[in-house]
Every structure is written in structure tokens, then in C-alpha cells.
């Protein structure tokens, strides 16, 4: 079993963090002035960010990301 702290590795936990704090944590919708709707787009941008940080932007992964951006969504699973 591998155990990660939310503060340990920012790249590994960033996706989990966004999955937690965007949308799913909305407690009181009625009076909220601002919310974020386009979660798919956020995840796409994030994937681009992670890829560039890791310098892992090889042709195959670039192709995947381009396809994802083209479709407008990144499919989980």
C-alpha cells in the first residue's frame, strides 16, 4: 500500500484536490454568487500543466492531449 499526504506531492494530489474542492464541496448553493461550472475544461488544462512540468511531453502523450482538447473533455476511466 502506498500512502500519500495531500501536502506531499503536489502533482500527484492536485487532481484529487480539484476533484474534491470544485463542485463536490458546494455546501450552500442558494446564496453563492460565484461557482465554477466547466470542470472538464479545468481537468484538461491541468493535464497539460502536469505534462509540461514532468517534461513528459512525448509524441504519444501529446496526441492523447490533443485528442482530449479537441473533444473538449477528458474521460475518467
Among 6, 57, 62, 66, indicate the residue that binds other proteins (CB under 8 A). 6
69 touches other proteins by CB under 8 A: no
Q: Is 16 in the site for other proteins (CB under 8 A)?
A: yes
Q: Is 57 one of the binding residues for other proteins (CB under 8 A)?
A: no
Q: What is the DSSP string of 5-50?
A: -TTT-HHHHHHHHHHHHSSTT----TT-S-----HHHHHHHHHHHH
Residues lying near other proteins in the complex (CB under 8 A) are found at 1-7, 10, 12-28, 30-36, 38, 41-42, 45-49, 61, 64, 74-77
Amino acid at each position: 500500500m502506498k500512502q500519500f499526504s495531500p501536502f506531499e506531492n503536489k502533482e500527484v494530489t492536485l487532481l484529487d484536490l480539484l476533484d474534491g474542492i470544485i463542485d463536490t464541496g458546494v455546501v450552500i448553493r442558494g446564496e453563492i454568487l460565484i461557482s465554477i461550472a466547466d470542470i472538464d475544461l479545468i481537468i484538461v488544462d491541468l493535464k497539460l500543466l502536469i505534462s509540461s512540468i514532468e517534461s513528459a511531453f512525448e509524441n504519444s502523450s501529446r496526441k492523447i492531449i490533443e485528442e482530449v482538447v479537441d473533444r473538449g473533455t477528458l474521460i475518467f476511466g
